[in-house]
Structure 1
Amino acid sequence: MGLTTLAQAQTAEDDANAPIEVEADRLDLDDRAGTAIYTGDVDIRQGSMQVTGDRVEIRRNAAGELSRATATGERAYIEQQPDPDEPIVRGWGRTIIYHVSERRVELIDRAELHQGGDTFDGGYLEYFLDSRVVQARSDGEGVEGRQRVRMTLQPER
């Protein structure tokens, strides 16, 4: 395993092992279903990851581990520093779905992603945290109308 891969794995592991801290106006918890629904100016942090929105639903798998977080709001937000040597990745959308085990983020409707100096906008963006792959579309499920894909890439230094 290379040093970069080791650092990425360490950051992901650090985040996964960090406690989840939540602030919200309301919580509806269903232990049997494995869901927690937070509403009202929600701010969730775990390690280098932060998720905010008007409503955030957290799902846990059978082992009790976080499996998915879905944030909704006028401008739901997610950020994470995937590697200590790299800039924080920031994303916005009306819906954000973080698939924990896949380390994949979906940004839906008025989606925006900032990765260092590079920016991506569109109706639907999908970002893979480990491989740094971005996939963008102008439309998709949950997207109002067509929202053209735009990107700004900074030159390599």
Structure 2
Amino acid sequence: MVPHLARVLLLALLVAPLPAAAQQLQTGFADFGQDQDTPIEIEADALEVQDKQSTAVFTGNVTVRQGNAALQTSRLTVVYSQSALPSPDAATSAASTGKAPSTPGQQRISRLEASGEVLLESDGQTATGNDGVIDFDSNTLSLNGNVTLTQGQNVVTGDTLTVDLNTGIARVQSTGRVRVLLTPGGN
């Protein structure tokens, strides 16, 4: 009887802070890259565009900002849903007219893949991990390795954080134990 009660209490403790954290992620991190009217600003020490792979790789002190959300990492790969290569006709036309070639079709960001001590910040909440992915096709955010999620003085730690940005449900998992620190009177 006692082990069952202990499991119920532990479950209640773990579930209680996560809906609030997921809700904050929904309003803060969920909008990252989704709002077509708010520009995404990326700064880095270097940029390499790989047209045939439909990627752009930013390296060195990478900072991504959109609205009040920010991501910092040492390496960011932006994956596009279509190739950034212009058609040969567009390049020929551009050479004759002096205008830059347009990209065929609608190009959009499919994924942001961050590696090297990832830091996400939004609406008074931070999340850190060794690497992370924001997948706009599946509308998920994940951080892996030494994950820490903080809001005010409350802290959740584990090995992985996965957030379904459609539902706002966050899941923290660990090969050891997930740890939660709730501070009375904290946010």
* Same-fold status (TM-score > 0.5): yes
Which structure 1 segments of 5+ residues have no match? 1-7, 81-86, 140-145
Following superposition, the deviation at residue 152 of structure 1 comes to 2.7
Pairing 1:151–2:185 present: no
Inter-partner Cα distance in structure 2 for 1:53 and 1:101 = 22
Contact 1:94 1:111 in 2 (8 A): yes
Q: 1:117 to 1:96 in 2, by over 3 A?
A: same
Matched residue, 2:118? 76
SS in 1 for 2:39: coil
1:12 matched to which residue of 2? 31
Question: Is 2:61 aligned against 1:25?
Answer: no
**Which has the larger helix fraction?**
2
State the shift of 1:14 in Å: 8.6
Alpha-carbon distance, 1:12 to partner = 3.2
Q: Which has the larger radius of gyration?
A: 2
Matched, 1:120 2:144: no
Sequence identity (%): 27
Distance 1:14 1:30 in 2: 20
**1:14/1:107 CA distance change after superposition, 3 Å:** closer
Which residue number corresponds to residue 47 of structure 1?
Answer: 67
Aligned residues: 136
Could you tell me which residue of structure 1 aligns to residue 108 of structure 2? 65
1:4 aligns to what? none
Larger relative contact order, structure 1 or 2 (CA cutoff 8 Å, min sep 6): 2
Opposite residue 96 of structure 1, the aligned amino acid is: G
Residue 149 of structure 1 deviates from its aligned partner by 1.1
Superposed, which structure 2 residues align to 1:69-108 within 5 Å?
69-73=112-116, 75-80=117-122, 87-108=123-144
Q: For the residues of structure 1 that align with 2:32 and 2:142, how far apart are their CA atoms?
A: 21
> What SS is found at the alignment partner of 2:53?
coil
| Structure 1 residue ranges (4+ consecutive) displaced by more than 6 angstroms after TM superposition | none
SS at match of 1:105: strand
Residue identity opposite 1:51 in structure 2: L
Q: Is the aligned partner of 1:132 residue 2:157?
A: no
Please say if residues 15 and 47 of structure 1, whose CA atoms lie closer than 8 Å, have aligned partners that are also in contact: no
1 CA distance for matches of 2:54 and 2:134? 16
**In structure 1, what residue type is equivalent to 2:179?**
R
Give the RMSD, CA atoms, in angstroms.
3.0
SS in 1 for 2:31: helix
The 1:118–1:103 alpha-carbon spacing in structure 2 relative to 1, beyond 3 Å, is: farther
Structure 2: distance between partners of 1:96 and 1:130: 18
